[in-house]
A and B are shown apart, each in its own frame.
Chain A
Amino acid sequence: MDLPILYYDETEWAKTHTGNKVNKKHAIAGTQNIVIAGKTIIEEGVSIRGDLATVKIGKHCVLKSRCVIRPCLKMFSKKPTMCNVIIGDYVFIDEDCVVNAAQIYAFVHLGARAVLGNGCVIRECSRVLPDTVIPADAIFPPFSTIGGSPARVIGTEPLCAENLMTEAMTMYYDNFVPQQRATTIA
């Protein structure tokens, strides 16, 4: 099904010159350490812990409401270190996700309420089913459907997942329009 048109109140949202749309009721800390490429939508109540380490988010991503993104902790022999989080392009993170991952590659879909453990890596074109708990240090190859608690690879994604995800995320951004403009068009 085509994605529905979502209207938002322009007074509650901030738009950057690169096309990012961020809800003003966010909980983003350490903005100087957060790099967002562009055309990314960040909804209400999203928490990004840029004060702990650098967070990089690619273009055309969607972070639905109340999800948490925080850097992962790695224990080195000298001292514990917070590692950077890198999220690729065209990544969809559904509501109430807790992302403690080291790296999420491009074209990944995280289902609602998924919990990603400390320092896990999810490769391209994968899908995490809703309510999945991924343990720490796990790594998943491209095109895997991940589900269960503890998470396992339970299937494969269609091989054209890249095109599907690009289309879906572009459509999501195009259909995410401010209320006033929508009324004037109509």
Chain B
Amino acid sequence: MSALLQYNKIKYECTCGKWRTLPDLFFCRQCFKIKCDDCSCREIDVIFCPRCLEPSSPPDARLKKHRCTNCNDCPNCANVLSARTENEKCYLLCQHCRWSSRDANQEDRDNIRSWPSKENPFANELNEVTAYMKRLEKIENAPKDLKKGKSKAWSAFHLKDKFGVQQMVEKRRKQLVPEVNPIDVHAPTEAPTLEDEMKGRSDVLRTLDQVIMQPLTNLSESLLPVKVALQGRVLVRCDECERTLVKRDFGVATYKFKISSFAREFVPDIRLSRPIGELKVGQTSHVLLSITNLSLSPLDLTLTPQSGERTIQCSSDPIKLVLPSPKSADSAAPGVHAEQSDVIVFRQHNRVGLRLDVIPSESDLSSPVLDLLITYSQDGSFSHLAASEKILKPEESGVDRILSARLRIDLN
């Protein structure tokens, strides 16, 4: 897990210039680019209730106002309300703060469904206004539709009243024109003063969370069970080629993926191998890294330390090495010291341990950051695979693209 393996110390640069941890990044197999949350498109895949994990279709969810009808949350602490039965009737109880539906003066019910919630008192009026606006829209759009020739009833045919059709059309048109009854304007009411509001107030003040959960409930009224808000599950697309990067399997609560192209499976994964000792100004310190190849084909990579203004100086030369893929590495003997160089510490399956020498200066000590550039290329099997899955055109396959990734390691 990212917490166990401390991925938060190493940030990769996304194509859009933002710095993210590798598990948070995606890789587009067509554009050959790293994508982050901000430079990818997201769309809602499934809408579901996070409590009962019941999926609902978008029109259904809209009808239910994006709330689950079966699940209720505690209005005090936003936790699950469990149903308790007594004399074949049930009530709701919060196991954390002991709030119960009896506190809200709600009678016990026969089933756990359909607990009342506070409705907007102006809901009817609002509906009337929307209906009125819709009628106005229809009248306003009528001439436009006429120009486009959408409505056949308004053709030139009605101008010559040869067979007495004109009258008939007029009659029908009158019937078709929607009725417009403007709604009465509200008489202004006097705004309540602060004193009025404070008078009827119970001793208990509500927290902001409670008010946000039930904005329509007045302070004098008791809180009702909150219906659980539905959640959306997202599908991630590349913003350039619109190809799907991540799509979950069928089923609401699944953790498996139908399509997934995480950056970890394409980009060399660099981690700190051992904790860093104390950094001293002007003295050489060692930084132990491990590089893992999780992609399908062997990686030919070059690691170049970068030096800049705000980064720590690294005295190591660029390192060139070949990392086997996890599949082919399984047959090789583990823990073989293949190259007896002082840079490579260990070689194990598809992982290589490296030692870099850094010389910190005075300004680096407060926030030491090591800047690295990796250029890597695959032996072509990756693009062959992409071609076989019809992600790339056949003529594009077989070309070894040299890709690069830049990363910063926080040495604190």
Contact = CB atoms under 8 A, between A and B. Distances in A.
Interface of A: 1-4, 77, 92, 105-107, 109, 111, 117-118, 123-125, 127, 135-143, 150, 152-153, 157-165, 167-168, 172
8 contacts: A1-B5, A109-B4, A136-B95, A140-B50, A141-B253, A160-B23, A160-B262, A161-B23
Contacts of B97: 150
Contact of B254 (A1, A142, A160): A142
Contacts of B290: 2
A186 to B, nearest CB: 12
Contacts of B44: none
Given A77-B85, A160-B264, A138 B2 contact: no
B1 interface: yes
Contact of B23 (A4, A106, A139, A158): A158
Interface stretch (B74-82, B113-121, B135-143, B170-178): B74-82
A162 B5 contact: no
Given A2-B5, A2-B272, A139 B51 contact: yes
Nearest to B82: A137
Interface in B238-257: 246, 253-255, 257
A152 B229 CA distance: 14
B271 interface: yes
B59 interface: no
B41 to A, nearest CB: 15
B358 to A, nearest CB: 17
Contacts of B275: 1
B58 to A, nearest CB: 19
B9 A1 contact: yes
B312 to A, nearest CB: 18
Nearest to A171: B5
B96 A135 contact: yes
A141 B51 CA distance: 7
Residue in B3, B5, B51 whose Cβ sees the most chain A Cβ within 10 Å: B3
B271 A125 contact: no
Nearest to A158: B23
B260 A164 contact: no
Given A3-B5, A150-B79, A163-B262, 11 more contacts: A1-B5, A1-B6, A2-B290, A109-B4, A135-B79, A137-B95, A139-B50, A141-B48, A158-B21, A161-B2, A161-B23
A154 B6 CA distance: 19
Nearest to B255: A124
Contacts of A124: 253, 255
Nearest to A109: B1
A107 B255 contact: yes
A183 to B, nearest CB: 16
Contacts of B272: 1-2
B255 A125 contact: yes
A172 B4 CA distance: 10
A138 B273 CA distance: 38
Nearest to B292: A167
Nearest to B272: A1
B231 A141 contact: yes
B406 to A, nearest CB: 20
Interface size class of B (residues with CB under 8 A): 35 or more
A150 B77 contact: yes
B24 interface: yes
Given A135-B80, A161-B2, A2 B264 contact: no
Most buried by B among A117, A125, A159, A172: A159
Contacts of B80: 135-139
A123 B251 CA distance: 14
Interface string B35-50: 0000000000000101
Given A118-B95, A135-B80, A168 B4 contact: yes
B1 A141 contact: no
B53 interface: yes
Contacts of A137: 80, 82, 95
Given A123-B255, A159-B260, A2 B24 contact: no
Contact of A142 (B9, B95, B253, B264): B253
Considering residues A111, A142, A161, which has the most beta carbons from chain B within 10 angstroms of its beta carbon?
A: A142
A167 to B, nearest CB: 7
B274 interface: yes
Interface string B89-131: 0000011110000000000000000000000000000000000
B357 to A, nearest CB: 19
A29 to B, nearest CB: 26
A139 to B, nearest CB: 6
Contacts of B53: 139, 141
Contact of A165 (B1, B254, B294): B1
Nearest to B52: A139
Contacts of B51: 139
Contacts of B77: 150
A92 B2 CA distance: 12
Contacts of B79: 135, 138, 150
B273 A2 contact: yes
Nearest to A164: B1
Contacts of A140: 50
Contacts of A106: 255
